């Protein structure tokens, strides 16, 4: 396994992050346990979850599964850099969602209980919340850090200017601020290259891409259809919209003898500011297969072809002005 610092911190995390969103709704508790055990065997020490995962309001299904896995012992908790998120609806009463000092406190306490741990390594805001001032947000999160319940703070689905705003406000308070940003980023969705990636590079914020395979679109979907596997209605629409690119993409992957999913992950590992893409295996086979991405070295020629198939963005303002 390869490891990297999380952003500008000295915290070492695996270059693949185990996403747990499937645990509960798709993957059984027993299979989830097996996947997490196998992840540790592979050296994956970075696990990501969220209080809303499981999609049963207020129940924190996925966090409970992880907590029960930790409770087995065997230094499982000590081996894991645990990231979770808050923001989503956890109830129907006021202040059971979004970001304010009350919900920050209550959401953290509830996650700690479900996860059966007394601290969270990386506590992430699941989305930007424009109604909250940064003074209020940082007061709420600073208290959790002071209490030892949270070690680092991250964000998710922020824009570049939010990263700047958040960390400048933290700097004025002599607080470490954001150390990571979890964002949509893959070959077919490169919008973050305009402003977010440059901002994260400048502030030492590690980028944790979610949906690295574009919801399966980059996972060899054309070949799977040819083999008789049906795609969902949404995927069929995405294929129709991107078929020409996908044909070139899968042909390129065949030419270098690699699986498309692994090439998509390997490409992200070459990108500036990226710490670890989130892999969300539903099965053990998917987890084991993803490790190949760490071994793939993409040549300049292949990288150029990928840019031709999936054009990216130059940083602003060069991307649209002289």
Name which of 132, 129, 270 is nearest 207 in CA terms.
Answer: 270
SS (H, E, C) the chain: CCEEECCCCCCEEECCEEECCCECCCECHHHHHHHHHHHHHHCCCEEECCCCCCCCCCCCHHHHHHHHHHCCCCCHHHHCEEEEEECCCCCCCCCCCCCCHHHHHHHHHHHHHHHCCCCEEEEEECCCCCCCCHHHHHHHHHHHHHCCCEEEEEEECCCHHHHHHHHHHHHHCCCCCEEEEEEECECCECHHHCCHHHHHHHHCCEEEEECCCHHHCCCCHHHHHHCCCCCCHHHHHHHHHHHHHHHHHHHHHHHCCCCHHHHHHHHHHCCCCECCCEECCCCHHHHHHHHHHHCCCCCHHHHHHHHHHCCCCCCCCCCCCC
Q: How far apart are CA 32 and CA 10, in angstroms?
A: 29
SS (H, E, C) 110-177: HHHHHHCCCCEEEEEECCCCCCCCHHHHHHHHHHHHHCCCEEEEEEECCCHHHHHHHHHHHHHCCCCC
The residue with tokens 């390997």 is: 266
pLDDT tens digits for the chain (322 residues)? 999 999 999 999 999 999 999 999 999 999 999 999 999 999 999 999 999 999 999 999 999 999 999 999 999 999 999 999 999 999 999 999 999 999 999 999 999 999 999 999 999 999 999 999 999 999 999 999 999 999 999 999 999 999 999 999 999 999 999 999 999 999 999 999 999 999 999 999 999 999 999 999 999 999 888 777 767 888 889 999 999 999 999 999 999 999 999 999 999 999 999 999 999 999 999 999 999 999 999 999 999 999 999 999 999 999 889 8
Q: What is the pLDDT of residues 11-21, one digit of tens each?
A: 999 999 999 99
Cβ–Cβ contacts within 10 Å for residue 96, how many? 17
Distance CA 237, CA 233 (A): 6
d(C-alpha 137, C-alpha 81), whole Å: 23
Bridge partners of residue 196, in order along the sequence: none
Residue 182 backbone phi and psi in degrees, to 5: -100, 120
- Residues classed as catalytic: 53
Kindly list the structural domains of the chain, giving each domain's residue range(s) and its CATH number in brackets, ordered by start. 3-309 (3.20.20.100)
């Amino acid at each position: 396994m390869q490891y990297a610092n999380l952003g500008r911190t000295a915290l070492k995390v695996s270059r693949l992050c185990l996403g747990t969103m499937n645990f509960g709704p798709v993957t059984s508790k027993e299979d989830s346990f097996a996947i997490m055990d196998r992840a540790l065997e592979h050296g994956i020490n970075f696990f990501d979850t969220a209080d809303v995962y499981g999609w049963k309001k207020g129940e924190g299904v996925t966090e409970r599964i992880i907590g029960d896995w930790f409770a087995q012992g065997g230094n499982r908790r000590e081996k894991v850099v645990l990231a979770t998120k808050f923001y989503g609806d956890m109830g129907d009463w006021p202040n059971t969602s979004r970001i304010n000092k009350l919900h920050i406190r209550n959401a953290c306490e509830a996650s700690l209980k479900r996860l059966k741990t007394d601290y969270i390594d990386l506590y992430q805001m699941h989305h930007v919340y424009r109604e909250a001032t940064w003074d209020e947000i940082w007061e709420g999160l600073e208290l959790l850090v002071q209490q030892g319940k949270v070690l680092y703070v991250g964000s998710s689905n922020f824009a570049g200017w939010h990263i700047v705003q958040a960390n400048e406000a933290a700097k004025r308070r002599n607080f470490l601020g954001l150390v990571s940003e979890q964002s949509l980023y893959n070959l077919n969705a490169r919008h973050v290259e305009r402003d977010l990636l440059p901002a994260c590079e400048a502030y030492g914020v590690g980028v944790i891409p979610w949906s690295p395979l574009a919801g399966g679109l980059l996972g060899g979907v054309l070949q799977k259809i040819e083999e008789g596997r049906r795609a969902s209605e949404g995927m069929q629409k995405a294929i129709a919209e991107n078929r020409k690119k996908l044909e070139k993409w899968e042909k390129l992957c065949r030419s270098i003898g690699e699986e498309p999913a692994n090439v998509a992950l390997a490409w992200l590992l070459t990108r500036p500011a990226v710490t670890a893409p989130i892999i969300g295996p539903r099965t053990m086979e998917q987890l084991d297969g993803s490790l190949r991405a760490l071994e793939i070295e993409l040549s300049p020629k292949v990288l150029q072809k990928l840019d031709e198939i999936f054009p990216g963005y130059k940083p602003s303002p060069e991307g649209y002005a002289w």
